[in-house]
Chains A and B, each alone.
Chain A
Amino acid sequence: MTIKETPIFIKGDIISLAPLNMDHVEIYARWHNDPRVRHYARHEFPIALEEVKKWFENPPEHGVREFIVFVIYHKEDKLPIGDIGLNHINWVNRNANIFAEIGEPEYWGKGIVGEASKLMIDYAFTELNLHKVHASVYNPNERSLRAAEKLGFEKEGILREHLYVDGKYVDNHRFSILRKEWLELKRKGESD
């Protein structure tokens, strides 16, 4: 199967972020249904191809939206391997929730979410002009907890027994980073 040349929106090292592509509709549907992937991403309902196709319909006429999604594209392997984005975007309070999933399990554990998130957070602050980005991770997802801390997120607290996963309640760890904190981290990173 050949994948057409994907237009890059934000360039990274190992991966880049690209707009959703109608050609990849089946891949997105597969990720969202794959039990290994959806377990951490919390897609509890099966999603049909038609529903995925609907994401491409009716973009707002003008102005901004409440969610923005990118495809994570692996540069060397020339393959879409996951998606990342912001949702619950509140333009008055200027904050949003970041979410990410690597749909192809062979790419887990390679620091890809970390790189994609860095690009996404930078985009949120320097292009979308947001004030705060928050993230939710539930405790069994050790990888994501570590990734959040490495990125410089501060833990705001724990929402106990907030999610029902695999037959029991688990906690939801809330993290956030403010614009000034991110810019400070960047500045430190550049001067090192």
Chain B
Amino acid sequence: MTEKKEEENGIFPFIEGDRIDLIAQSSQWINLICKWNNDPRVRHYARWIFPTQPEHIKRWFEPPSGRGMREAIFFTIYHKEDKRPIGSIGFFWINWINKNANVSATIGEPDYWGKGIVGEAAKLLIKYGFNELNFHKICAGVFNPNQRSLRAAEKLGFKKELVAREDLFVDGVYVDMHQFAIFKEEWMEQNK
């Protein structure tokens, strides 16, 4: 009975998890996504340095032009018990020839920080990337003040590949960008 209601509300789980599902993004949450992208606590780590208006977000929902494959694939992270969207996660800079992509994850509601949700969502996304999208390699970039994400990357089995010095300007100073990566074979070994 509850499931039918969720369908009516435009909630379409694409990948199911324990506490969260990854669901297709929906234009009904444009204002919510806008709030996350503007929230000073959230945008600091996500690096949104320009104010976002709902119109900018609306454009994501326009059907893609041309016949090429997408450069980015994003999901909304939906909290099953609390029945609400709490963040976004997805792949960007997808290169279909080299078969690699970067991961981006944002928990837009700070009450859900520090609960291992990014870890859970990332696990689902990585499995999707290797098993369904046939990626060879998945990369992630974290800038050094973001301790939580550095730990999360290591826990997920990512290995550090390089440190791009003074790559980002954050809060008045240049910070290093740590690049991590995980390969399909490594991941399959870890998740036998």
Contacts and interface: CB of A to CB of B under 8 A. Distances in A.
Contact of B164 (A94, A158, A162, A176): A176
Interface in A111-160: 131-132, 134, 154, 156-160
Of residues B49, B163, B166, B181, which shows the largest number of chain A Cβ atoms within 10 Å of its Cβ? Answer: B166
Given A44-B97, A131-B174, A169-B136, A160 B161 contact: yes
Nearest to A155: B162
Q: Which of B98, B136, B137 has the most CB of A within 10 A?
A: B98
A17 B22 CA distance: 50
Interface of A: 44, 92-95, 131-132, 134, 154, 156-164, 169, 174, 176, 178
B163 A161 contact: no
A162 to B, nearest CB: 6
Nearest to B159: A160
B162 A161 contact: no
Contacts of B97: 44, 164
B179 interface: yes
11 contacts: A93-B168, A132-B167, A159-B161, A159-B162, A160-B181, A162-B100, A163-B98, A164-B97, A164-B98, A164-B136, A176-B164
B165 interface: yes
A164 B100 CA distance: 10
A156 B162 contact: yes
A132 B166 CA distance: 8
B189 to A, nearest CB: 15
Nearest to B100: A162
Contacts of A159: 139, 161-162, 179, 181
A154 B164 CA distance: 10
B71 to A, nearest CB: 14
B99 interface: yes
A158 B137 CA distance: 14
Interface string B111-130: 00000000000000000000
A95 B165 CA distance: 11
A162 B162 CA distance: 13
Nearest to B160: A157
Nearest to A179: B166
A52 B122 CA distance: 39
Interface in B83-109: 97-100
B166 A178 contact: yes
A21 B174 CA distance: 37
Contact of A93 (B139, B169, B179): B169
Contacts of B98: 162-164, 169
Given A156-B164, A160-B181, 17 more contacts: A92-B169, A93-B168, A93-B169, A95-B167, A132-B165, A134-B164, A157-B161, A158-B162, A159-B139, A159-B162, A160-B137, A161-B136, A164-B97, A164-B98, A169-B136, A176-B165, A178-B165
